[in-house]
Each structure stands twice: as C-alpha cells, then as structure tokens.
C-alpha cells in the first residue's frame, strides 16, 4: 500500500497536534498532549526523535528550538490507515466498515446528510 511507516497510537496523537498546528516544538506538542497522555516532557521528546528517525516527521534544526512537522498530510495518512483497516479488519469490504460506522451511536442527522451527499457525489463521479 505504502512505504510510509505505520504510526503507533502515541505517534498518531503527536501527528494530530502537528496536523492541527502545522509545525511545533517538542514543548508545544507536549503542552497540547499534557492532559491526554499524562507523560513527561522527555517521553514526548523521545517519541518525536523516534518519529523523525522513522520518517514520520521532519525536524528543522536551523534555530535554537527544533521545529517538527508531519511528513504526510493528514488526509493521506487517514486514507492509508483506513485502507489498512478495511483490508485487515473488514476483509476488504468498504460496506462492512460503513455499516459499523453507521451503527455507532454518535452518528447524528447532520452527519447522515453529509454522508448521503458524499455518496451521491461519488456516484455522480463514477457515472462520468
């Protein structure tokens, strides 16, 4: 599917901060994650160093503080993760994934309308 490494759950949390901010120092990421992870600064630093070594993030060392940014765009990473999920958990069935998502209690009427719109748009593209 891709030669990009698979991020762990902790790495996905860090990537989430970087996708939201664009780029950030370890301190900034750590402060954003502080309430979620409950880990120390050095743990965040080590994770981000490992992520740089794995090719998940780029580190700009030109200034006094190192600035990190995600290598992949959020949508690209999401697409790859969902693709693996469909293949590994749903035996390649997109409809099985969608069925499980629709059965979740958190789907409200507005989201259902948006899903319908996305399906209609996809169908119209397929007809063209």
State pLDDT tens for residues 20-50.
999 999 999 999 998 666 788 999 999 999 9
Residue range 58-86: mean pLDDT, rounded = 93
pTM of the model: 0.80
State pLDDT tens for residues 86-101.
999 999 999 999 999 9
Question: What is the domain class of 9-70 according to CATH?
Answer: mainly alpha
Residue ranges per domain, the chain? 9-70, 74-127
H or E element that contains 60: strand 57-60
Kindly tell me if the per-residue pLDDT of 105 is higher than 80: no
Q: Whats the size of the chain, residue-wise?
A: 128
């Amino acid at each position: 599917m891709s030669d990009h490494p698979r991020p762990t759950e902790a790495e996905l949390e860090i990537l989430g901060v970087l996708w939201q901010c664009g780029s950030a120092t370890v301190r900034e990421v750590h402060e954003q994650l502080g309430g979620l992870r409950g880990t120390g600064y050095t743990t965040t630093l080590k994770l981000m160093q490992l992520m740089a070594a794995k090719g998940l993030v780029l580190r700009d060392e030109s200034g006094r503080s190192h600035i990190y940014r995600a290598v992949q765009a959020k949508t690209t990473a999401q697409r790859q993760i969902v693709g693996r999920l469909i293949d590994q958990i749903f035996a390649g069935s997109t409809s099985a994934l969608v069925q499980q998502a629709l059965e979740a209690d958190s789907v409200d009427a507005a989201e259902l309308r948006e899903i319908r719109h996305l399906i209609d748009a996809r169908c119209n593209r397929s007809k063209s």
